[in-house]
A and B are shown apart, each in its own frame.
Chain A
Amino acid sequence: MKLRSKIIFSFIFALVGFMVAIQFQSNQIPEERDTRDLWEVRTDLQEQQKIQQQLYSRISELDEMIQQYEGQSQTEKVATLKQSIIELRKKAGLTEVEGDGIRITVKPIFQELNSSQTYPTISPSLLQRLINELNTYGATDIAIGNERITNISPIRDVNGNTYVNNHPIPPLPVEIKVLTQSPKRLLDYMQVSKSKDEFAIENLELSITAEDEMSLPKFEQMPRLNYLEVDENAETGEQ
């Protein structure tokens, strides 16, 4: 090979090497580094410890229940069983509950506009967002109007009307009752919540008051569990 052609050959080799290197580098994913500082790690650790504590307390509660089952005579066993059924029904929202909480009244806002304004309604997505927010801030039981919200309560749009538990919600103003363990805190959260703004966009006003000794209606229908199945294989924890 002549020197000239050798140089051109080499130059193209260098070009190929360059391209390969760039391709290689582009495909490399930079590894994610743990950049938390000491305090962040500490707070994370504390959170995890809190979760651990909660889990431990739940385990001890359940252990206690098991002991009650085991160390009792037949009649007492039945009594414990009935007790747990009552507790579970309460948890599922099948009983009336009383307690402290907040009352949210949804009222229409009428603005002095030149254009005509329709009577506002609550849309399902607004309700869903509100319920999510309430649950985030520690609500234990929620009822919209006379409809108790359970884990399987549907909230949906049926021909333009908002249905909760397959019943249409009454026209405005609507009352939403929320039970919680610390009404004051929930009230404070809700006063500055996003939901207020979101409802205001739709010409709706939320007026929120704390109230003692509220009673929430029970979930009237049979809970439909057609699509629930017992998973016998599932074992929590280690396999």
Chain B
Amino acid sequence: MWLPVLFLIVGVLLGLLTDIRVPEEYANYLSIAVLAAFDTLLGGLRAHLEEKFDQKVFVTGFFFNVTLAAFLAFLGVQLGIDLYLAAVFAFGVRLFQNIALIRRYLIERGRYRKQTEKNQRK
């Protein structure tokens, strides 16, 4: 798991060093997109822990979710409805669910390991 973490750090550094700023009008879209990206990432992590990870689903999900969220925000601005709240809500709920599931898997995995160690000692 060290490669993705390394890449994450590289990405953050790249973003900080290039000094790109998004104009304030578009900050909304980017924030929604970031939220969608987080959601997809955690979803991918969960699927990996569940051993159901599918690369195609993950990659398409990432790009599709990010675009959809930005589009929803755009539509909301055009119609005068705060549609981005829908995206925030949906992604927020899923974020929490995914994190909870990941925590549970990790705990269970820890327990399983302890038990196997005990069994081996016997």
What residues of chain A have their CB less than 8 Å away from a CB belonging to chain B?
1, 4-27
Contacts and interface: CB of A to CB of B under 8 A. Distances in A.
Given A9-B4, A12-B58, A18-B15, 11 more contacts: A10-B3, A10-B6, A10-B7, A11-B7, A16-B34, A20-B11, A20-B12, A22-B15, A23-B31, A25-B19, A26-B24
A71 B33 CA distance: 77
Contacts of B22: 22-23, 26
B37 A19 contact: yes
Nearest to A25: B21
A14 B5 CA distance: 8
A9 B106 CA distance: 20
Contacts of B19: 25
Contacts of B9: 17
A138 to B, nearest CB: 43
Contacts, number: 99
Contact of B27 (A12, A16, A17, A26): A26
B30 A13 contact: no
The CB with the most chain A CB atoms within 10 A, among B5, B10, B12, B20, is that of B12
B53 A13 contact: no
Given A19-B30, A19-B33, A12 B20 contact: no
Given A5-B55, A13-B5, A16-B37, A21 B44 contact: no
Interface of B is mostly: helix
A21 B13 CA distance: 8
A17 B8 contact: yes
B62 interface: yes
A164 B12 CA distance: 66
Interface in B47-103: 48, 53, 55, 58-59, 62
20 contacts: A7-B3, A8-B55, A8-B59, A10-B3, A12-B62, A13-B4, A13-B7, A13-B8, A13-B41, A14-B14, A16-B11, A16-B37, A17-B9, A17-B13, A18-B14, A20-B11, A22-B30, A23-B27, A25-B19, A25-B20
A19 B67 CA distance: 13
A213 B24 CA distance: 60
A16 B8 contact: yes
A30 to B, nearest CB: 10
B15 A25 contact: yes
A83 to B, nearest CB: 60
Nearest to A21: B15
Contact of B53 (A1, A21, A23, A26): A1
Given A10-B4, A12-B62, A13-B5, A23 B34 contact: yes
A35 B68 CA distance: 45
Contacts of A20: 11-12, 15, 34, 37
Contacts of A6: 3-4
A6 B55 CA distance: 9
B62 A19 contact: no
A16 B41 contact: yes
Contacts of A19: 11, 15, 30, 33-34, 37
Given A23-B30, A26-B21, A14 B16 contact: no
A17 to B, nearest CB: 3
